[in-house]
């Protein structure tokens, strides 16, 4: 993501779906990703980024759940990190003895829009779900349509 293998001005549309952003420790790395995306886009091209809604995640976090799939018990433990910057999920495949962790930066809608503007995008629209509803603090998603300046 930080070194895209595409020539400058290659795309008219770039999409980043299902919170495929926000996994770096340092926000400068996130800014670098957005800069690389911008360079790969033609002037006037559209960038769509689908991200979690940090407000909703902080408020409605489910700290634990488990389910069984294909005979495997899957446990998920979630927490907000002590610095309040990330949501962290630990996934345990109990019957397999495996554990995975993912951690995503909790960027507010304003933070995300500010990062996009800082990378040279113009924010065009903000949605709160895949049906195109307006964004609010209760929305399940933060979906931003931005254009390359």
Partnered with residue 102 across adjacent β-strands are 89
| Tokens representing residue 110 in the block | 């304003």
pLDDT attached to residue 20: 92
Round to whole Å and give the CA distance between 137 and 133: 12
Round to whole Å and give the CA distance between 43 and 124: 14
pLDDT attached to residue 70: 92
Domain boundaries, the chain: 11-57+105-148, 67-104
Tell me the pTM. Answer: 0.90
Residues of the chain with pLDDT under 70: none
| Domain 11-57+105-148 top-level CATH class | alpha beta
Q: pLDDT over 90 for what percent of the chain? A: 91
CA atoms within 13 A on the CB side of 70: 2
């Amino acid at each position: 993501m930080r070194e895209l293998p595409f020539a400058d001005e290659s795309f008219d549309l770039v999409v980043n779906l299902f919170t495929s952003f926000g996994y770096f420790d340092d926000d400068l790395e996130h800014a670098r990703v957005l800069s690389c995306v911008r360079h790969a886009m033609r002037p006037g091209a559209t960038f769509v980024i689908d991200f979690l809604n940090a407000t909703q995640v902080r408020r409605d976090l489910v700290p634990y759940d488990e389910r069984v799939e294909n005979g495997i018990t899957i446990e998920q433990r979630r927490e907000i990190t002590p610095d309040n910057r990330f949501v962290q999920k630990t996934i345990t495949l109990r019957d397999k003895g495996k554990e995975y962790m993912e951690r995503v930066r909790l960027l507010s809608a304003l933070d995300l829009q500010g990062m996009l503007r800082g990378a040279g995008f113009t924010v065009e629209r903000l949605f709160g779900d895949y049906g195109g509803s307006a964004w609010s603090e209760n929305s399940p998603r933060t979906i931003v349509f931005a254009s390359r300046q």
